[in-house]
Amino acid sequence: MGNKTYQEVLSWASSFLEEQGKEGYAIFYVFLGRKKWTKTDWLLHMKEKMPQGEQTQLKQDLNDLLDDYPPQYLLGYEEFYGRLFKVNSATLIPRPETEELVKWCLQNTKNQKEEKVHVVDVGTGTGAISTTLKLERPQWQVDAVDVSKEALEIAQLNSYMLGADVNFYLGNTLDPISTSIDILIANPPYISQDEWSVMDESVRRFEPKLALFAENDGLANYQKIAQQAQEKLSHHGKIFLEIGFNQGAAVEQIFQKEFPYRKIHRKKDLAGQERMVLVH
C-alpha cells in the first residue's frame, strides 16, 4: 500500500471487505482498538502516513476478518455496559441485548439498591452480567455459575480486573447454589440445533457451541432453571431471562407451570424482538 495515509488505507480495506460480502466497518473497529484511539483521535491523525508495521498488522487483521474471525476475538475484548471485558474462544461475545437485560434488572430492582440481596447469574460466560451487577449494586451478594471451566477463568479475570467481588461456581445451572435466591438472572444457551443453518458464519465457526446450543428446541436450560428455581427462589424473588426472539410464549409457559401464582412479563429489545422475560 506504499506511502498511504491512515484514511487512504482504512478506506481501501473497508471497501475491500464490502466487495467480499463482509462488514466493512469491522476493520476500522479493529484498527481503532489496536491503536486505542477514540474517534476524535482518528480525526486528528487520519491524514498522517501509516507506518509500514501497522500496515502489516492491518493486512493480517484483514485476512482474519475475511475468514469470518470475530473482531472482538482479534482484539481480545468487548465493551459491555461501558466497561471492557476480556473475551476469547472459550466465551460467548457479549451482545447489546444482554446489556438491555442488565439494564432491565437494575430498573426493576431500584428499591433493593442498598439491600444485601442474593443474586445468581446462570451461564455467566465472560462474567459480564455478574460483574456489572456487582459494580452497579455493591451491596448485593453476587454469585455466578458456568458449566465451562475455561469460561469461568475468563469471568474471574474480568471480575478481578474490574474490581468486582463476585463468587464463581463451576456447575450446571443452579446445581452449585444452596442458599435462597432473591434475583436470578440468566442468559443460558438457547439456540436449537435446527437453527444452525441460519446462524452467522463467524458465530458457527468460532464461538463456543457449549454457550450457544440447548436440547428440546433450545428450551432445555429454561426447563431446568424453572424446576430448580421453584425450590431455591425466595418468596419475593425475581427471575430475569434472555431468550431467543421466537421463544417468548414457550418460556412463559415453562415458568408459569412452575410458578402459577407469579406474574410473567415479556419484553422486546430495541430492535423490536421479544428477547427478555421477567418472573415476579
Digit-coded pLDDT (tens) for 105-150: 999 999 988 889 999 999 999 999 999 999 999 999 999 999 999 9
Residue 174 vs residues 51, 222, 248: alpha-carbon distances, Å: 52, 11, 22
CB atoms near residue 72 (< 10 Å): 23
Per DSSP, helices labelled H in the chain are 6-19, 25-35, 39-45, 52-66, 71-75, 96-107, 128-136, 149-162, 201-206, 215-218, 220-232, 248-258
Whether 85 and 54 have beta carbons less than 8 Å apart is answered as: no
Task: Give residue limits of the domains in the chain.
Answer: 6-67, 78-279
Report the DSSP pairing between strands 181-186 and 167-170. unpaired
Average pLDDT, the chain: 95
- 23-61: pLDDT as tens digits: 999 999 999 999 999 999 999 999 999 999 999 999 999
pLDDT tier for residue 96 given thresholds of 50, 70 and 90: very high
Residues 6+ apart with CB under 8 A from 191: 199, 212, 213, 214, 218, 244
Q: What is the mean pLDDT of residues 77-84?
A: 97
Q: Which CATH architecture has domain 78-279?
A: 3-Layer(aba) Sandwich (3.40)
Q: What is the mean pLDDT of residues 194-210?
A: 80
Q: Determine the pLDDT at residue 200.
A: 84
Helix (H, G, I), strand (E, B) or coil at 272: coil
Percentage of the chain exceeding pLDDT 90 = 86
CA nearest 14: which of 3, 5, 6, 25?
25
- 242-273: pLDDT as tens digits: 999 999 999 999 999 999 999 999 999 999 99
Residues 6+ apart with CB under 8 A from 236: 182
3-state helix, strand, coil in the chain (%, to 5): 50, 20, 35
The partner residues of 79 in beta bridges, in order of sequence, read 84
Residue 66, pLDDT > 70, answer yes
d(CA 262, CA 257): 10
CA 233 vs. chain centroid, Å, equals 24
d(CA 143, CA 266): 25
pLDDT tier for residue 1 given thresholds of 50, 70 and 90: low
